[in-house]
């Protein structure tokens, strides 16, 4: 069993995350989705990999997979500076509440999403939001792209190291999504 960063988030119950760092498995799940959504959190503005802002990795991923983007916190401002407009902007709790509702029209007003990728969130807040979706949004699958285990997601990465594993996963996932 992979241990989460915060020991209080050790899985209780019968439904837990599938822990994998296989970029092709992630890519296949995203490609199969009818309406995926990428939710970007504030940690993307603070963290870098090899001197590159993590938000840049997220935007490359969104472009490669043609993923609509929901910006939380103050991510929208930085995205606009970089020439990218998010499809919607909500705070983290608000987007979780919208995603629970199967009748919500989604980020692009085309219908609710069937798979949601979370990237750039604190593990404590992320796990609480994912727990809510696990229990109250059976119509939805969730994935995390953060380097720590999120046991309440449907798919989560294992605890990865910045210097190679996480960067390699993100680059491989972006490459896999570019392939048709």
Closest among 128, 54, 44, 116 to 87, alpha carbons compared: 116
Question: What are 101-139's pLDDT values in tens digits?
Answer: 999 999 999 999 999 999 999 998 999 999 999 999 999
Question: What are 58-79's pLDDT values in tens digits?
Answer: 999 999 999 999 999 899 999 9
Name the residue with tokens 């296989």: 22
Name the residue with tokens 């910045």: 162
> In order of start, what are the domains of the chain with their CATH numbers?
14-178 (3.40.50.1220)
Model-wide pTM > 0.85: yes
């Amino acid at each position: 069993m992979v241990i989460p960063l915060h020991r209080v988030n050790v899985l209780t119950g019968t439904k837990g995350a599938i822990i994998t760092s296989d970029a092709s498995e992630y890519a296949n799940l995203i490609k199969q989705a009818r309406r995926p959504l990428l939710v970007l959190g504030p940690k993307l503005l603070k963290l870098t990999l090899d001197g590159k802002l993590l938000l840049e990795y997220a935007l490359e991923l969104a472009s490669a997979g043609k993923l609509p983007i929901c910006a939380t916190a103050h991510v929208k401002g930085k995205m606009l500076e970089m020439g990218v407009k998010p499809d919607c902007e909500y705070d983290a709790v608000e987007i979780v509440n919208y995603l629970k509702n199967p009748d919500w029209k989604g980020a692009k007003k085309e219908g609710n999403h069937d798979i949601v990728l979370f990237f750039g969130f604190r593990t404590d807040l992320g796990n609480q939001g994912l727990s809510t979706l696990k229990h109250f949004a059976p119509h939805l699958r969730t994935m995390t792209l953060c380097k720590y285990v999120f046991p309440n997601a449907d798919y989560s990465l294992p605890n990865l190291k910045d210097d190679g594993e996480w960067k390699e996963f993100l680059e491989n996932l972006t490459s896999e999504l570019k392939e048709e």
